Each structure stands twice: as structure tokens, then as C-alpha cells.
Amino acid sequence: MMEPCVVSSFFSEPKTNKHSTIAEDFLFYIDELNQQLDDFKTPASVQCVYNPTKYARECFETYVKKYCNTKKRIMYFGMNPGPWGMSQTGVPFGEISSVRDWLGINGSVGKPPLEIKSRPVNGFDCKRTEVSGKRFWGLFKNLCGEPNNFFESSFVYNYLPEQWMKNNGCNLTPGDFKAAEIDSLYHICDPIFKKVLELYDVHIIVAIGKFCELRAQKILDKYSFRNKIQVIYMPHPSPRAVNNNNWDDKALHCLKENNLLHFYQGFA
């Protein structure tokens, strides 16, 4: 029996972003972003694109409707999906055990239009672990206990919902290219990022990695916002980063130094 297809409201309703909930508005913006990305010409070295907000739509929508349906003071800002995390589960930093066992999200995951053999999409049957997601969600599990305690003030948003790869499965990110090579990508993603910041009334962006720190600051310089928004840099939890074995310590230091730790403690 074929799995039911999740059809986005963006394509089945009049194209207006005035919906009844914040989550529906957010999903509308993601569909608006994806529609524009369909026309974006990736750099020549990008041979394959996975977009889990499409083929893992059920899980992605569950994440949004379950945890992203209220205003959020803090946005954790990531770059794009990883091969063994969000590309498998549809959830940002979506390491499988964290998504299934802590966030309580599970569901059917389809396939991208073109799949690379060395980077298969097996959904929750994937046997690989994404260290970045395990570190990220593991930190807040230890601090918050329950996921609702994290999402009371915070949520996670990726600048680009696509994973880019070479033919051999080697991962490519927007940060790997010169601005001139992907300038048109910024013209697509920046306005959506602005809309998401305004939708959630974000006051603090915790930029995960240098690309996100620079992109967030450029967007704040480009647009006007109702309130002042602060950008804070947090090191990326990737094990590929140099001297990053103690990422938990670095992340905790970031939270303490910027007076954010109190948002995630005191729930016992």
C-alpha cells in the first residue's frame, strides 16, 4: 500500500499568508521559499539536492505544529540539513534518537526525486547518527528535561531547507561558495528569514556557526524590524570543526556569557 501523500496547504488554498495559527503561517513561508528554490540554479558543483521539508513533510509539519505555534524570543539559526539528521527526519538538527525519543516525533518519510546511493534516505530506519544533532538536542535535554521547556522560549530554524551534494555524496553548504556564486540564493532566503523573525517576534538570534552569524547580521542590516534583534555566535556542534570535542562546554559558556541559561534551567 502506498503511503499517503501530504499535500501542503500552499498549493491547495488561496495564496495568502493570513492563517489561523502561527504554525500555519510558518508553513506557508516554507512553501513560499521552496517554490522559489525550485527555480534557483545551484552552483555547477551541486549535483544532487535533498529537501526534507518536502519528502519528510509529515515529520516536519509535526515539529512545526507541536513546538513552533507560539511567539519565540530566541531563534537558534542553522544553515541547512545534515545527511544523517534533518535529511532523514525532517526536523532541524534531527538526529534520529533525539527526534523520536525526546521530541516525540515519528512518521513516514518519502524519498527525494534523485537519491545518491552513498547518502540514502531511510527515515527513522537510518542506522547512522548525526553527531551535530545528538550534541545540540542532547545539551538542551540535559538542561531542560522536557522539550516543552526549551520551546517555551526558543525554536530552531534553518536558512536553507536543502542539503546539497556532489555526485559522490560529498556534502556542500552555502558557506563553501563565494557570495557571487550564490547571490541569487540570498535574494530568495533573506526575505523569508525576515518574515520568520517577525512572525515569531524574535529578539535574540543564536547563530550556529560563522556562516549563520554573518548572514543574520547582513539581514538585520538590510531590513528594518519592529524591535532590536541581537545576534549571538555559538560554535557549530559538528565534529568536523577543529578543536570541537568539548562543544557542550563551549555552548554552555555561550549561554552563560549572554545571559540565556536561565531560559533553560529551573524546571525541576
How do residues 163-210 score in pLDDT, each as one tens digit? Answer: 999 999 999 999 999 989 999 999 999 999 999 999 999 999 999 999
How many domains, in total, are found in the chain? 1
Residue 267: predicted pLDDT: 77
What is the pLDDT, as a whole number, of residue 131? 96
Q: What is the pLDDT of residue 13?
A: 47
4 belongs to a structural domain: no
Give dist(CA 135, CA 241) in Å, integer: 13
User: At 103, which CATH number?
Assistant: 3.40.470.10
Q: Does some domain include residue 143?
A: yes
Buried b (16+ CB within 10 A) or exposed e, 87-104: bbbbbbbbbbebbbebbe
* 83 falls within a domain: yes
Would you say residue 85 lies in a domain?
A: yes
- Rounded Cα distance, 179 and 221, in Å: 17
Express each pLDDT in 205-239 by its tens digit. 999 999 999 999 999 999 999 889 999 999 999 99
The answer to the question of residue 1 being in a domain is no
Q: Give residue-wise pLDDT tens across range 19-28.
A: 689 999 999 9
In the numeric block, the cell 538570534 is attached to 205
Instruction: Give a yes or no: residue 10 inside a domain.
Output: no
Residues in the chain: 268
Residue 267 lies in a domain: no
Q: Which domain holds residue 238?
A: 20-259
| Axis-axis angle for helices 247-257, 131-144 (nearest 10) | 50
State how far the Cα of 207 lies from the Cα of 217, in Å rounded to an integer: 10
In a domain, 11, yes or no: no
- The residue that leads in pLDDT, 55 or 244, is 55
Q: How far apart are CA 267 and CA 248, in angstroms?
A: 20
Write the Ramachandran bin of 33: left for phi over 0, alpha for psi from -120 to 50, otherwise beta.
alpha
